[in-house]
């Protein structure tokens, strides 16, 4: 079997958790599909907050004011049935892999809507 994943976008912004997966047999024939596409997205896609302001909020929320910012990009995230335009801020503790906080900061309000540690392995 083979699987082809497709990321959902809304106005050229990726949607957190929104994807479709096509399942194919060994000969390439369709064998079904799975989708977790988010229907009826409603959100203003113009940020009011800058990426730098969102990163500062993310550092504060993660308790990592001295963290390096690895990346920041706009995403659409649905939480409790409400769509948010959010910056996904990837942080790194000064190049040391003891924690890799990912913080989603609402690009309109500055509120943190989701945070998790993406550290998957350590040496």
Q: Kindly report, residue by residue over 54-100, the tens digit of the pLDDT.
A: 999 999 998 887 787 777 899 999 999 999 999 999 988 766 666 78
Q: Are residues 104 and 72 in the same domain?
A: yes
Does residue 40 belong to any structural domain of this protein? Answer: no
Secondary element (H or E) of residue 65: none
Task: Please give the C-alpha separations between residue 23 and each of 5, 16, 17, 31, 52, in angstroms, as whole numbers.
Answer: 9, 21, 18, 5, 40
Q: Is residue 110's pLDDT more than 60?
A: yes
Q: Are residues 11 and 59 in the same domain?
A: no
Greatest mean pLDDT range, 70-74, 101-105, 117-121: 101-105
Inter-residue contact 94 to 88 (CB < 8 Å)? no
Number of domain units in the chain = 2
pTM of the complete model: 0.85
Q: Is 101 exposed, middle or buried (0-12, 13-18, 19+ CB in 10 A)?
A: buried
Query: Which pLDDT belongs to residue 51?
Result: 93
């Amino acid at each position: 079997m083979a699987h082809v994943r497709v990321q959902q976008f809304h106005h050229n912004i990726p949607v957190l958790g929104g994807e479709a997966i096509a399942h194919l047999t060994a000969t390439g024939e369709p064998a079904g599909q799975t989708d977790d596409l988010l229907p009826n997205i409603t959100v203003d896609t113009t940020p009011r907050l800058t990426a730098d302001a969102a990163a500062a909020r993310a550092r504060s929320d993660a308790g990592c004011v001295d963290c390096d910012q690895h990346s920041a990009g706009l995403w659409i995230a649905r939480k409790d049935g409400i769509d948010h335009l959010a910056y996904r801020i990837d942080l790194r503790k000064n190049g040391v892999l003891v924690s890799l906080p990912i913080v989603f900061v609402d690009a309109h309000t500055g509120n943190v809507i989701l945070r998790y540690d993406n550290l998957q392995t350590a040496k």
